[in-house]
A and B are shown apart, each in its own frame.
Chain A
């Protein structure tokens, strides 16, 4: 066995160990340990991705000395390390860009706990990507929920406590639905590992036995992960959670965490249940409709938002709708478009949160739109970054946001009755995106009023660096999406094997 094949396990264990180290080490070390972890994790995921790409194969990694069904396993193809790499890089840039706000928003005595939560989040997300065991997935879903709640609740002031409660209530409902679904699945099939589970489910479905029980189990697991991802109409917790957290947490919650659950759902569908059985239950049509509903409904909510971060958060809920729409298309190309949407959103939304916070800083911490008028003149780099992010979200060509929309539209023509709902949903959502994002992008560049009491801020260039890296990635993906799309195509094909 190659050393690289151990990296998925190493990175998960390292995340857990670093969380303990951040808790026990001198408090000033927490940030350094976390940055080192995120960097090392990114390198390890990159190595695993390269290894799988060169060999054009996925591999299974047995934990301990017990084979299935007693033991547990990880699996790595192209999707798992690819998403792990994305999560590590986005989290690294988010904590660098939002570091000053962490120092300001989190009490001195609690800052080391913040870094514990970041490390746990990374470990849980990586485990959700790599696990091949549905019960291990449940355990790390809960670890991710606890860490995400800590990321949200640790901020001093504001109404983040209420947002945390709301988040936890929804998260617990989601986890409970998922757990009940897992128990039903186990009760019917007696399997927990994905490959064995898929065989058992296929055999039961073919024999025509326990079809109702399996349908209920699939519906429960899908609904649980949809609630936790903030899919419409279960997105009630999302705007408050994403807007009330400190900037780095908003970036992580919006850019990374919700996608962890979506990746897990894709793995369960493709590896655990089998796409054929999932489609036979009709669940993919429900996901498609929920996705379309979210794209339109949450965009309308974003138009009526009174504060910038709430608007960006509602936009996240709308963008998650695209992901579920892609999963609901029920084709490999639809899944490719959904993963492209995850990548595009993960490199755009943290940039918007970072730039939005910096524009707010240039307006005495205010987030309401009248106060943000002319904020781009007071903080030019942040204004440029926000404009790039807004244009990408709208779907302007040559930026990342355009790519998944193009792939969704292209795939829509290959669908049956879903073709026109998908095309109309894409068109409506794009028009609504233009309304609220372009309005904001224009507002921040309007001339300031003569009696404006806000003064230009001194740029903190270290804070802008992550934003400009996100912008660079955005442009690179927008100009040359072919290699990434080809990689995701192969990743999706490998998932089903």
Chain B
């Protein structure tokens, strides 16, 4: 148990990332409120980005900008995860924006954000005839 705690403490970035991932995914999966689902998505994406950024981090490493006249060998952090995180943030913001726009339209139309209630409306609809 002590060894596990020590291991977690040593890899605290990964532990935090996995905690964020789990919290966000549970919110996305189980929360009935549509707005909280969007918040869960953002929390989960933050966890993913933290995990990715941590993969490229090198303690004491410099930003990966290579000067041509560099005379001494220096350690750079891995630039690929940083690039992935930047792309991921753009994608994540787009998805959140779309979900929030949908949420606003849903609330304006049905005056509820409870997904169970919304799905119930849909199942009633299925019993009807018109397209």
Contacts and interface: CB of A to CB of B under 8 A. Distances in A.
Contact of B37 (A70, A145, A149, A169): A169
Interface stretch (B1-9, B69-77, B113-121): B113-121
B48 A168 contact: no
Interface stretch (A17-25, A201-209, A304-312, A426-434): A304-312
A187 B51 contact: yes
A305 B126 CA distance: 8
A135 interface: yes
Contact of B125 (A146, A159, A192, A360): A159
Contact of A162 (B88, B118, B128): B118
A179 B88 contact: yes
A367 interface: yes
Given A145-B95, A159-B125, A153 B80 contact: no
B99 interface: yes
Contact of B84 (A135, A166, A172): A135
A164 interface: yes
B129 A367 contact: yes
A159 B110 CA distance: 10
B129 A366 contact: yes
B119 A367 contact: no
A180 B21 CA distance: 9
Contacts of A366: 129-131
Interface string A141-160: 01001100100010000110
B36 to A, nearest CB: 12
A306 B127 contact: yes
Contact of B126 (A169, A176, A192, A307): A307
A161 B129 contact: no
Nearest to A369: B129
A163 B131 contact: no
Interface string A370-398: 01000000000000000000000000000
Interface in B68-113: 79-81, 84, 87-88, 91, 94-95, 98-99, 102-103, 105-106, 109-110
A163 B122 contact: yes
A456 interface: no
Contacts of A365: 130-131
A187 B17 CA distance: 13
Contacts of B45: 176, 179
Given A187-B51, A309-B131, A168 B126 contact: no
Interface of A: 69-70, 135, 138-139, 142, 145-146, 149, 153, 158-159, 161-166, 168-169, 172-173, 175-176, 179-180, 183, 186-187, 192, 240, 305-307, 309-310, 360, 365-368, 371
9 contacts: A139-B91, A161-B109, A161-B110, A172-B28, A172-B95, A176-B25, A365-B131, A366-B129, A368-B128
